[in-house]
Amino acid sequence: MSRMQIAAPAKINLNLRVLRRNEATGYHDLETWMVPITVADELRVELTETPGIVLTCSDPELDSGSGNLAWKAADLFLHETGHSGGARIELHKHIPHGAGLGGGSGDAAAVLKALNEQTGRKLGETQLLELAAELGSDVPFFMGGKGAMARGRGEILTGKPLPTPLDLLLLKPPFPVPTAWAYKRYAEMKASEAGMLPQESQWLGDVEITNDLEVPVFGKYLLLPVMKEWLCQQPGVESAFMTGSGSTMVAVIAPDAPTGCTEGLKQRIASEYGPTMWICKTGWGIGDGE
């Protein structure tokens, strides 16, 4: 069977509010506005007549077996459709893991879409979304690939494109933030006698920028609040915030920033924080605004 090549874009959370813990699901309900961005992983996916799933990944630090969401997506799809053969996946990573950018979830969504195409769309949209929700909270969002408000665990989606384009610079230090830990720490701080200070909001026109996970994450990963403050002081930077559970910080470049502003900022970041900082110039949505 022929291979299918597909891109799996990253996302950022423009805002993220953690609501009550849902005892039925065991997860915290949330409300978050997510938009896809132009940096993306690349996958080549094909059905095989030979049973079993073979996943190769360009990042040696990632699991190439059942611990990888792309592998899990293929396994779930094959089981659901009763396909007697297997699947082969080549995953070329451009999105760092543990970054709050949804790289693993996007990969899983891409595998579901690619395998469904190769089986002649054996599963309908509703069935695919159910599989996506089973795989992880962010996976349903990536099935649509457009800006959306996500509620519940992330599976309840309402389309919401970003009204204006954004030029972004992403910065990820050389450490991940475990998502489960971030939510657990949030709950612990919320339940403590001292409580937790409310997260301050920033505004980009009519877009509110806020992230409830910044307070608990910043309390442990002390470099991140330093980076945020430093970014906000840089010329041409309109806003800076952490996306998802981190550790990526997002700098929003002002629309009226002079030519060369972003390149100058990249050079200052490298000088200030050293060569281990992952820096990526990107922009908003694939599909939004079309």
Does residue 138 have an active-site annotation?
yes
From 72, 93, 113, 138, active-site residue: 138
- What backbone phi and psi angles, to 5 degrees, belong to 281? -85, 130
**251: closest CA among 211, 219, 279?**
279
Cα angle value 205/158/7 (rounded, 5°): 90
Cα angle value 277/288/41 (rounded, 5°): 40
| CA–CA dist 115, 173 (Å, integer) | 34
- What backbone phi and psi angles, to 5 degrees, belong to 145? 75, 20
Q: How far from the centroid of its chain's Cα atoms is residue 8's Cα?
A: 10
From 11, 93, 113, 172, active-site residue: 11
User: Are 240 and 44 in contact, with CB atoms under 8 Å apart?
Assistant: no
**Catalytic residue annotation:** 11, 138
